Amino acid sequence: MATVYLALDIRLDRTVALKVMHRSLAEDPAFVRRFIGEAKSVASLSHPNVVHVFDQGTDTDVVYLSMEYVPGKTLRDVLRERGRLPAREALEIMIPVLAALGAAHQAGLVHRDVKPENVLLTDDGRVKVVDFGLARAIEATNQTRTGVMIGTIGYMSPEQVTTGGADVRSDVYAAGIMLFELVTGQQPYDGETPMSVAYRHVHDTVPAPSSLVPEVPPLIDTLVAHATAREPQDRPADATAMLVAAVDAHRMLPRLTNPPGAHPSMAHSQPHARLQPGAHSGAQQGAPSGAQSAPLAAPAHTLIQPRAEVPAEPRRRGFRPNWFLVTLSAVMVVAIGLTGWYFSQPEYVTMPKLVGTNFESAERRIKGMGLVVKRAPGVHSEKIGEGLVHSTDPEAPVELEKGATVTLVPSLGPKRVVIPNVEGLSEAEARTAIANAGLEVGSVKRLPNLQIERGKVIRTSPPVGEKVKEAAEVDVFLSAGLLMPNVVSMPKDDAARYLAEQGFQVAVQEVDDDAEPCTVIAQTPKAKSEVDKGAQATITVARCQATFWDWYRGDNEARDDQEFRLVPAVMGKNVNDAKSELEQQGFKVKVVRLGHSGVVRFQRPAPNSERPPGSTVFLWE
């Protein structure tokens, strides 16, 4: 149906299992609807034993699900490694499986493919049911009865084989088959073909597990028989009903099995043998008869001798204790003492591993074991999600006396810090505010800005209010105020007008110079200097009294027969287009950047001026 990839959700920074539908199936609209139905069905379940669905979507022709990643192994892997499991351990796996199925049944969903491959065992001991890909709302089951069997043949209920239909009792049947396999190490039916196995599901009765493995307790036989009844109405009503029966069976099973070589009658004995009152009473009832018979019979070594051989002074007859009664009394005293000591000993329970499990469920589980729960303040964690158990005190596994206190620490999830508002602050103030928020300053850049005072913060990246990891870097952008533009070589009037538009107080100073008349030969402040709005700007200009032709002839000794060309008007044109046009006319071009508009704002010489080929034309962008 699909391929599952291990993936990273870069938006929420978590590892997920990405389930991508096979391309051949993605072309079938009906199958796509079933696939999307899986996402909606499972996403409606919120249960610690169900693998969660985070998201569903399509990317061109790729249809996918984003699901909870569960590190560990499948129940099938465990069966391959260990073979059959003890009855108690098998129930301890089935109970969370039935809890997950029960939650699905309560929500109106049928799994339809319950089997060991779809049960995941995490590294920390949790049990998760996965792949509700064949789940359907109970109301829609009539639409699926097209004669196609959906499921795995070894776990199919008789009604799935015969009609193709399935309800919650079909999941109960599959759970009973899975319990059979857990305690025996094999499925109840095998055959050369899948149809032969299906035939046996319909016509045979599932054998008792103890017929294959004699040490399986009768309670398991009963549970399997009830769950795998051929008629659906003879099974538990749903997985929740089977869960109740499984919990009762687990409670009644003894904790320890008989050690190898012990007498069968001692199987499933308690850890400590308890003295039964009947054993003592029987001994007490037999004791008087023995005590009375002893004085009536003469000892074997006692003989009556003639008087002549009797000593002059007869030996005084002393007290002769009945050693049987003495021994019996001593045994009874010791037994009573041991019994009192045993029953006065505290009862211990083993605290399970709870880290990473749902906090509320862990709380109920600990209280159900007779322990006292103390809730500690939550802590942040990058690995354990919000609402799960971060840690316990003491750490599991550990034996605890009933009534002992267990401290559970909830996880608050990954810690995220809000970018503080530092706009309008100085660089030093911004650094302090960012550090106080638990963040670090990255790069500091200066940008021209007339609205924000020079040296103050314009903005940050990431922006104010965004949540980031603790100790993340924040880039700061400071106002550079006004940047003095480069107006050297610009005509005087253009330079003065442009500087005034930028907010400068302009002063013009004319001097005698060999440069072209009325052009800027120097400026104060220098180009790219940072200044405040309204600052004084002085431009030094070559004296304007002389004409260009006077300057040109005096400087270049121009001949009357020299060729001249008109300089085209390029102001308002794209800089690159203007440059190409001028170069085609035989002029050299020098571009001076004032901003980033990409459009010619000023030019020198003025449009339609005459200049010889090879002259330099200045363009200001």
Residues 577 and 600: their CA atoms lie apart, in Å, by 10
Residues 106 and 103: their CA atoms lie apart, in Å, by 5
DSSP 303: -
Residues 540 and 524: their CA atoms lie apart, in Å, by 8
Is 146 in a helix, a strand, or coil? coil
Quick count: other Cβ atoms within 10 Å of Cβ 420?
19
Is the preceding peptide bond at 605 cis, omega within 30 degrees of 0? Answer: yes
**Token match 């149906």: residue?**
1
Note whether 178 and 155 are within 8 A (CB).
yes
Note whether 543 and 511 are within 8 A (CB).
yes
DSSP 555: H
CA atoms within 13 A on the CB side of 477: 11
Residues 399 and 369: their CA atoms lie apart, in Å, by 12
Residues 128 and 564: their CA atoms lie apart, in Å, by 89
User: What tokens appear for 283 in the block?
Assistant: 């001994």
Whether 113 sits among the annotated catalytic residues: the reply is: yes
User: What tokens appear for 425 in the block?
Assistant: 């602050």
Note whether 476 and 430 are within 8 A (CB).
yes
Q: Which residues pair with 456 in a beta bridge?
A: 426
Q: Comparing C-alpha atoms, which of 413, 416, 355 is closest to residue 385?
A: 413
Start-to-end CA distance of the chain, whole Å, equals: 61
User: What tokens appear for 154 in the block?
Assistant: 């070894």
Residues 70 and 127: their CA atoms lie apart, in Å, by 10
The contacts of residue 77 (CB under 8 Å, 6+ apart) are none
Amino acid at site 267: A
Note whether 526 and 483 are within 8 A (CB).
no
Is 142 in a helix, a strand, or coil? helix
Catalytic residue among 77, 113, 171, 561: 113
The contacts of residue 206 (CB under 8 Å, 6+ apart) are 176, 177, 180, 188, 224, 225, 228
**DSSP letters along 311-352, please?**
-SSPPP------HHHHHHHHHHHHHHHHHHHHHHSPPEEEEP
Note whether 476 and 457 are within 8 A (CB).
yes
Q: Is 478 exposed, middle or buried (CB count within 10 Å of its CB: 0-12, 13-18, 19+)?
A: buried
Note whether 386 and 412 are within 8 A (CB).
yes
**DSSP letters along 469-497, please?**
ETT-EEEEEEE--EEPP--TTSBHHHHHH
**Opening angle at CA 113, ends 107 and 119, nearest 5:** 85
- Residue numbers annotated as active site: 113
